[in-house]
Chains A and B, each alone.
Chain A
Amino acid sequence: MNTSSYPMMPFTRLGQFAIARLRRMGRYALFFLQSFVRIFSWPLPVARILQQTYFIGMKSVSIICLTAVFTGMVLGLQGYYTLVKFGSEGVLGAAVALSLIREMGPVLTAIMLIGRAGSAMAAELGIMRISEQIDALETMDIDPLRFLVSPKLGAALISMPLLTAIFDVVGIIGGYLTGVLLLGINSGIYFARIQSSVEMADVTGGFVKSLVFAVVIVTVCCFKGFNTHEGSEYGAKGVSVSTTSAVVIASVLVLVTDYILTSLLL
């Protein structure tokens, strides 16, 4: 770089930074699109999607239920003490159900899934990368994206809405535990308020979120693991770095997209 451009340096830096970011985002997008398209390539990878659904979905049910019941209970407790000041504790059901279905359900399910399945995906792919298993797939003319990433993406797209639905329902039961059993709200009113307040748009909005989160989680975690060799560290250290950054980036990205989606859906 010649000296005459020196005053422009900050802008050059900014430009370089922006281009690098944009390029990276483009790679993420391509990674997702290619994996998504390959879900439907013939022959359909049904067996592997099934296996991944077992791992991502079935094995997460217990942790999701546990999280959901306590989330619901806390919402019931907090909601009650806030609402009772206005003498409107009767709408507790509505408060719990709406916050679960619109926000807490999709977001917390996504966060739990990152911790349980996302980290595993990043680590698995990272190890496969450093032990040359991904290269081996390529030499066998097996598309690594189709073989490794697409089933995870497909399974996550199936599992996330279902897990979110389970989270919502269990959370509502959790709210029932505190609101009705502990604090003595009429159980009929609790459910009637839920029914009258929840609209179809809330439910579909929640599912749209959960689908988008599924995409975010799988794309980020698999991308990080898949490209472990491009990181600054090598070997086992490289896997740990890519797993950590996958979890962090995915979590942050889930919250950011949640805000964007909420503002679009409302």
Chain B
Amino acid sequence: MKKASIETAVGIFVFIGILCVGYLTVKLGKMELLGKNYYSVQAQFESVAGLKVGASVEMAGVPIGKVEAISLDIERQIARVRMKIQSDVAITDDSIASVKTAGLIGDKYIKLSPGGSDLILKAGDTIIETESALDLEDLISKYVFGGV
């Protein structure tokens, strides 16, 4: 085997391999290669039960970002969620962030409902109006025991 042909063969092998790696990471693993620009905003919820890092952030049913981090505000004992939003999407300061469930028992995601204000949120700002996760068990017990 000549040296040059070995090099070519290895080149082909590495190329095919990297294509597959690319498919797995970028397409399936949803890695952002050519990094779309994002900016972060925060929101505080009373409860984010079931919400996970990486869950999508949607507006009118269209994904516009992801949950970046979830932490506990130790003083006020509420959940603080940081999300990254595509930079071409503007969010007004009176938008409402709510934790929703896809279907009856699906994954939790955050839904942003636009408001009517002129003030646009900048990176690092906080969405004030929030709705916590709907607790199905809570609801059912209320219905059964006549709380509604």
Contact = CB atoms under 8 A, between A and B. Distances in A.
Let me know if chains A and B touch directly in the complex, using CB atoms closer than 8 Å. yes
Interface of A: 47, 50-51, 53-54, 57-58, 61, 97, 101, 158-159, 161-163, 165-166, 168-169, 194-195, 198-200, 202-204, 206-207
A202 B7 CA distance: 32
B139 interface: no
Interface string B95-133: 000000000000000000000000000000000000000
B: interface residue count bin: 20 to 34
9 tightest CB-CB pairs across the interface, nearest first?
A162-B17, A165-B20, A200-B29, A58-B13, A203-B29, A198-B28, A165-B21, A169-B20, A58-B9
Interface in B10-48: 10, 12-14, 16-18, 20-21, 23-25, 27-31
Report which residue of B1, B12, B24, B31 has the largest number of chain A beta carbons within 10 angstroms of its beta carbon: B24
Contact of A169 (B7, B9, B14, B24): B24
Contacts of A202: 29
Contacts of A61: 13, 16
Nearest to B17: A162
A159 B10 CA distance: 10
Contact of A195 (B1, B21, B27): B27
Interface of B: 1, 3, 6-7, 9-10, 12-14, 16-18, 20-21, 23-25, 27-31, 54
Nearest to B18: A162
Given A51-B6, A162-B21, A166-B16, 5 more contacts: A163-B17, A165-B18, A202-B29, A203-B25, A203-B28
A54 B9 contact: yes
A87 B27 CA distance: 27
Contacts of B30: 195, 199-200
A202 B27 CA distance: 13
Contacts of B28: 97, 101, 194-195, 198, 203
A161 B20 CA distance: 10
Contact of B21 (A159, A161, A198): A161
Contact of A58 (B10, B21, B29, B31): B10
18 contacts: A51-B6, A54-B1, A58-B12, A58-B13, A159-B17, A162-B14, A162-B16, A162-B20, A163-B17, A165-B21, A165-B23, A166-B20, A198-B24, A198-B28, A198-B29, A199-B54, A203-B29, A207-B21
Contacts of A50: 6-7, 10
Contacts of B18: 162, 165
Contacts of A163: 17
Contacts of A198: 24, 28-29
A168 B25 CA distance: 12
B5 to A, nearest CB: 9
A87 to B, nearest CB: 15
B10 A53 contact: yes
A203 B27 CA distance: 11
Contacts of A165: 17-18, 20-21, 23-24
A206 B25 CA distance: 11
B31 A200 contact: yes
Given A198-B29, A200-B31, A101 B24 contact: yes
Nearest to A162: B17
A213 B14 CA distance: 19
A204 B14 contact: no
Contact of A200 (B14, B21, B25): B25
Contacts of B9: 54, 58
Contact of B24 (A47, A51, A57, A203): A203
Contacts of B12: 58
